[in-house]
Structure 1
Amino acid sequence: MELRVRDGRAVLAGEDESGEREVDPHSLPLGADLAEALHEWAKVADAVTRTETPQDGVANALVARRGKQLAIRIATVMNSQVSYTDPVSGELVSVDAPDQPAAAPETEAAQPVPDDAPEPTPWGTGLTVSLITAAIVTVTVVSLSLGLGETSSWLALVANVLVVGGLAPSVWLGRRVPVWRWVAYGVVTGVLVAWLALILTLL
């Protein structure tokens, strides 16, 4: 089974009597949450590949990492090997289903296996990173807008739209990644503060 992206949608390809077939994840017993997560990843991956910034290593790395995580989840649910084609690099990666833990001997009392406890949220460090990122983005957007605004207000508006559009895929991917989410929060805050400052300068 192979995970692919087709026109912003996730598909799973496999072989049967009639040859290779691609099916929607919702048609397989994966669960609604996993199927929706696959399509969400495919939309972001498609947006990243369509942008004209192939040097954006952060977005590419996040797409590849998320794709591998989802492939592992599929392999776990289906209990079989799953491959996925990285939509950015085109590399084919194979993952195996995680080994199931051995059953405890009958002579021992069954002990509940706790789920992996979530790591504590590093609020201090995280908010510091968000604050620094927000300050950098705010100064950059305001300086760019004021500089271009002296030439043309429309040019400044177009520049803002392009900047936000270029950052959107990375921010969307990073919002749930433990480390990069703080950067994503800072980018969003910085853009909003910059726009508020620009509106106040026009009043």
Structure 2
Amino acid sequence: MELRIRGEHAVLAGPGGEQGREVDPRRLAIGADLAEALHEWARVASAVTRAEAGTDAARAVVAQRGRQLAVRLAAVMGTQVRFVDPVTGAETVIEPPARERGPRRAGRSSAAPEPTPWFTGLTVSLFSAIVVVVAMLALAGTLARETSGWLAVVAALVVTGGIVPSLWLGRRVPILRWAVYGVGGGLVVAWAGVLATVW
């Protein structure tokens, strides 16, 4: 992408040199403030280049501001931006900043994945499964003895229906997923026990 000035307006051109298609920055998803800053810079740059008595300081400010805007544009668009100084004609290619894939943790490289805590995770899963099985069987057994088997099944359905949405949401959360796996497995085992208790 190339940052150009046409008249008193900034335009962005795709590949193809002078024949490249030019687009008004306001038509791109770069933010209204950046698009307006580009047009303001183009107006000032046009005035400085037209003025015969333009000082070197003014030309340096125009060039510096153009480079700053090209850096912002490269960061927002995530692409290389070619900037030609409207005063001197010097060409600069601005590379987009490297994007990090995720937040860095202190003392760890972002490229090295963390090891999976199998022992701790499976322990949490087993404990969660045991708690769910004991709770569901206690509920179903008590209701089956005190009232009716159908009420025990309905209560187990209500408990399962209340837990399943939370399990679905937590299935990919790094630490919580171990408890989710245990609760899910516990529900399956508990349902076998509930049906055995009722019938």
| Larger RCO (CA within 8 A; separation ≥ 6) | 1
